[in-house]
Copies of this chain bind each other. A is one copy, B any other.
Amino acid sequence: MKVHIVGIGLIGGSFALGLRKAFPGVEISGSDASEAHLLEAEELKIIDRSANLEEVKEADVVIIAVPVDVAKKVAVEVLDQVVNDTLVFDAGSTKAGLCETVADHPNRRNFLAAHPIAGTEFSGPGAAIEDLFRNKTNIICEVEKTAFKLQERALEIFQKLGMRIRYMDPKAHDRHIAYVSHLSHISSFMLGKTVLQKEQNEKDIFDLAGSGFASTVRLAKSSPAMWTPIFQQNKENILETLEEYINNLSRFKDLIEKDDFQEVFLEMERTNHIKTILNGIN
């Protein structure tokens, strides 16, 4: 099997490492906007060789793992060149815009829109992890628009990498993921900002930080180049989630302000049941 990966970062690199283990003999070429990342990926033996985008004509599988604004352009460029039996899938965190972009492409049936819910706060090929996708959910959108035998090939790959599949409408995907992923990143970035601002006047504040703070602020290490276009593409849903989040915080603040600590207690107790929900997530 010949695979070409566009974007050899955390996600593209993890696909490469996972495929190597799951499909011995796989040949993996890669392209990336960063020459340094390409070199690093070759040195780390994540890819066999770098190649330009024309390579996709020879590939059985093309994986697009670039920031979501670039992904739209790359998807069209790849679909313009692929042959009949090449599977092309992406891994981006927004789906509605991309599905719309490729909707009328003559090679739409070569494309599968995917979003593996997997990652870390780190980026680049050095952050790639062989088992990143094991036991993770992979959301597939508009599966009916992909050629049947290419669906099969994709499912075989996802299954061998250990993923659990969920099928969703792209708009529902973007709405849901705004709550369980995009909002978390904003809450974390703004928490980090709030504490950094305070530190300018009160030194040594981070010396007092424990694992709880580290956990809530972990996502503030994430890549702005990756996240800015996600917020742009999912603007309407994110504005809605942010408004609800801010309202909930303001309400909690009001309760503290007017000394209604019985209700403060109840607010927390009602949210506590998230314990049972989170048990399946690592």
Chain A residues near B (Cβ < 8 Å):
117-121, 136-137, 139, 166, 172-173, 175-177, 179-181, 183-198, 202, 204-222, 224-225, 227-229, 231-232, 235, 238-239, 241-246, 248-250, 252-253, 256-257, 259, 261, 264-275, 277-278, 281-282
| B190 touching A216, Cβ below 8 Å | no
| A187 touching B216, Cβ below 8 Å | yes
Complex CA gap A147/B54 in Å reads: 78
Complex CA gap A259/B228 in Å reads: 11
Chain A contact surface mostly: helix
Q: Which residues of B contact A185 (CB under 8 A)?
A: 212
Given contacts A179-B194, A194-B248, contact A215 B216 (CB under 8 A): yes
Considering the complex, give the chain B residue whose CB is closest to the CB of A203: B176
| B139 touching A208, Cβ below 8 Å | yes
| B117 touching A231, Cβ below 8 Å | no
Q: Which residues of B contact A177 (CB under 8 A)?
A: 208
| B228 touching A265, Cβ below 8 Å | yes
Complex CA gap A52/B75 in Å reads: 71
Q: Which residues of B contact A136 (CB under 8 A)?
A: 210
| B194 touching A180, Cβ below 8 Å | no
| A166 touching B208, Cβ below 8 Å | yes
Given contacts A119-B212, A176-B202, A189-B268, contact A249 B245 (CB under 8 A): yes
State the Cβ distance, A138 to closest chain B Cβ, in Å. 10
Given contacts A180-B195, A180-B209, contact A220 B267 (CB under 8 A): no
| A214 touching B278, Cβ below 8 Å | yes
| B198 touching A244, Cβ below 8 Å | yes
